[in-house]
Amino acid sequence: MLDVGLANGTGGDDDIAVFVDRLAAAGSDRPTALAQEGIRNAIGAGRVPPGLRRLAEALAASVAELPPPPRHPAEDVGSVVSAVRTDALVVLDDFDEAAVAEAIAALLTEGRRVVVTGATPGESARVREALATDVVDRAVDAVPSLSPAELRELRRLLATSTPERRARGGQDLPPASALPSPDEVATLCAQAARPTGTSAGPWMVPGLLADLDQDRRAAVTSVARCVHRSLGALRPRTGRDWAWRLLSELIYSRHRAAFDRMLEDTAQAVAALDKARYAPPVSFHGAPPPGAVEVLRRYREFLETGGKPRSYFRSAVQREVQPVLQQARVGENTPETVDDVQRLIEHLEFDERRARIAEGCAEIGVPAPRDEGELVELAEELVKVAAAARSVGALRHDVLFIAADSPLSVPDVDSAEQVAEAIIDYAEHGSADEAAHRLDEMADALADHCVVAAMAPEHEQAIGALRERDAAAYAAAVEALDAARRDVRDEQQARALLRSLSAEAPRLAEAWTVLAEDDPIALGFAAFVPMDALLSALPPADSADVVLVLGSSGLGVERLLLAAVAPRMIAVVGPGERRDAGPSLLSILQRASALVIRGRGGAGGRVVPLPGGSGRNAPARVGQAGA
């Protein structure tokens, strides 16, 4: 009859389903059929009950004649609790109601969720009556209806509860969205702490700008941003002292004409360099004669209007240009075409511009470029200086006329930079008075989020930090509020789950509340459920840790379906119970090498086989029950 094992001896879901069918085939009552149906549905959904899988694997090992598992010495089995930690299948042999009650109490002390069932209601009632007074409050009539996830969360929240967190239940915290950003508060605090001066200077900017209309203030701010960008483009100052010195002179219109010529000549020279990169090189055997550029321009016009170069009877223009062409080479050839002549003109014009650039550099005190790379750099720097001069000049004008009696002036570049930064800072953050006013508004808004009686200390700290302009204290309060918000959320969730549990098991909810403070590990329960009711409506997966079956010696094989209730099964054999010779729940557990713990009335430590054992299988392990 032991062919109730796995079909293929492997342990796949299909084999488990066959195993369930063979167990159920041993009975014909309706609870067995309902249990079979529920287990098959769970297997079909990919949720194989772990208790059934462990039982099936143990039987598969015995059928395959694998070596038996190592036997535990008697002294290793110190209690039912330690046995359940290491073995999924345990038999309590010769245990009376008092001993079973002690075993249940030990399991509850470790926080186990125990489902107790028996062949008859009287057995369960006697065990329940034998429970100690400190355990009886954790005995219930059914597995709590809270989902396994909710029950697990409730036990976690109770186990991690602290007096501080329990005090959070009556507090009302502001949502995270109601708290100003610590970065914004830090900026406002720094703005509010800025000192105000007594003499004319950038500190006066906020007061002057506050009196302007929005459009005028926006225009001044735009100019200030231009100053900030243009001066930033001239940084760093190292190696650019001439640029800053030139800028200081330009804002007073000194060297303006020479600078404008330099700006134009450098731009054209750079453009000529870019064009020359893709043209043939030009060389002269000697110095070009004076007026060579004008002569070449007239000859270019002669060629463009249809003139032809002749070997004899040359025209006056051709005779005039001949000395220049004889000294010049475009690439490897003597220039002949219009393009060749144009290339010569561009080359000579570039030389003239470089000469003018050198003269201009000497005039305005700028280092003359020594090669083409320095020429390009000079042109770029002059453009930056020109942009900075225009923006600083515009700012000096706007500040001068910002108000009819404005005492503020911008005498130099450094002052322009300071005033520009003050204008931008005001546009982005406002003045010190405005920052202080904004902080007070934040504090008032934050205080309005809850009544004083329900205000948390961290909430008060955040409000006080805003009023005291203490950015560091505010950031610490915000961080503390995040932790407090988690505590409040956990406490509210724990109370809600406790209310749900209390609605069906008030004594269990009260016992857990007390244990959470004294012994948070012992948050277990013992659900006493009649066997037929338990099989007819199997609890969801992970609803229990242990199923304890009373009067197991007289139960048939089909009652092994109870292994689907929890990952571990404890079968109890009372003193003097008769063991059937045929296949039964007890004989199958023996075949699966279940750990046997002898009751206090038995011979402790003896390794004996259960009745009905097979000669080819290892005897069951037996130990003396302890505390």
Q: What are the tens digits of pLDDT across the range 31-53?
A: 999 999 999 999 998 899 999 99
Whole-number Å distance between alpha carbons of 599 and 357? 112
Into how many domains does the chain fold? 4
- Most confident of the ranges 162-176, 307-321, 556-570: 556-570
355/462 same-domain check: no
Going by C-alpha positions, the residue among 98, 6, 93, 88 that lies closest to residue 50 is: 88
In 271-407, which ranges are E strands? 282-284, 328-330
pLDDT of amino acid 581: 67
Is residue 335 situated within a structural domain? Answer: yes
Q: Are strands 328-330 and 282-284 parallel, antiparallel or unpaired?
A: antiparallel
Same domain (yes/no): 391, 469: no
Phi, psi of 455 (to 5 degrees): -80, 135
Give the model confidence (pLDDT) of 17-27 as tens digits: 999 999 988 88
What predicted TM-score, i.e. pTM, was given to this entire model?
Answer: 0.58
Residues 449, 397 within the same domain: no
Q: Are residues 172 and 253 in the same domain?
A: no
Task: Say whether pLDDT at 609 is over 60.
Answer: no
**pLDDT greater at residue 339 or residue 196:** 339
Coil, helix or strand at residue 9? coil
Cα separation, 526 vs 505, in Å, equals 12
Which of 146-155, 345-354, 519-528 has the weakest average pLDDT?
A: 345-354
> Are 604 and 509 part of one and the same domain?
yes
Residue 526 lies in a domain: yes
612 band by pLDDT with thresholds 50, 70 and 90 = very low
Asked whether residue 382 falls in the same domain as residue 478, the answer is no
Instruction: Select from 544, 529, 570 the least CA-distant residue to 99.
Output: 570
- Please tell me which residue, 577 or 78, carries the higher pLDDT value: 577
Question: Residue 339: pLDDT above 50?
Answer: yes
Residue 510 included in any domain:
yes
Residues of the domain holding 12: 2-63
Q: Is 202 domain-assigned?
A: no
Rounded to the nearest integer, the mean pLDDT of the chain is 82
Dihedral sign, Cα of residue 397, residue 402, residue 407, residue 410: negative
Name the 3-class secondary structure at 523.
coil
What pLDDT does 111 receive? 92
Mean pLDDT throughout 371-384? 87
Please tell me the predicted confidence (pLDDT) of residue 409.
67
> What is the H or E stretch that residue 597 is in?
strand 595-598
Same domain as 563, residue 551 = yes
Which range has the worst mean pLDDT, 85-99, 206-220, 388-402? 206-220
Indicate whether 151 and 80 sit together in one domain: yes
Burial (CB < 10 A; 0-12, 13-18, 19+), residue 442, is buried
Rounded CA-CA distance 440/429 in Å is: 15
Q: Is the domain of 111 the same as that of 184?
A: no
Closest CA to 118 of 529, 526, 525: 529
Does 82 share its domain with 25? no
Most confident of 65-79, 296-310, 493-507: 493-507
pLDDT for position 64: 58
Decide: helix, strand or coil at residue 526: strand
The pLDDT-based confidence of 207 (bands split at 50, 70, 90) is low
Q: Mean pLDDT throughout 431-449? A: 86
Residue 612 zone, left/alpha/beta (φ > 0; ψ -120 to 50; rest): left
Backbone phi and psi for residue 65, each to the nearest 5 degrees, phi listed first: 55, 45
Answer whether residue 609 is part of any domain.
yes
299 in the same domain as 275: yes
* Residue where one domain finishes, among candidates 63, 86, 104: 63
**Inside any domain, residue 198:** no
The torsion angle over the Cα atoms of residues 396, 398, 403 and 406, rounded to 10 degrees, is -10
pLDDT one-digit tens code per residue, 128-185: 999 998 899 999 999 999 999 999 999 999 988 888 888 877 788 888 888 999 999 9
* Alpha helix ranges (H) inside 45-162: 50-63, 80-86, 97-109, 121-129, 133-136, 148-159
Question: What's the pLDDT score for residue 618?
Answer: 38
pLDDT of residue 453 exceeding 60: yes
Claim to verify: residue 292 and residue 239 sit in the same structural domain: yes
For the segment 248-262, what is each residue's pLDDT rounded down to a tens digit?
888 888 888 888 888
Give residue 457's pLDDT: 87
pLDDT at 67: 52
Residue 34 located in a structural domain: yes
Question: Is 114 within 8 Å of 127 (Cβ atoms)?
Answer: no
Q: Answer yes or no: is 555 within a domain.
A: yes
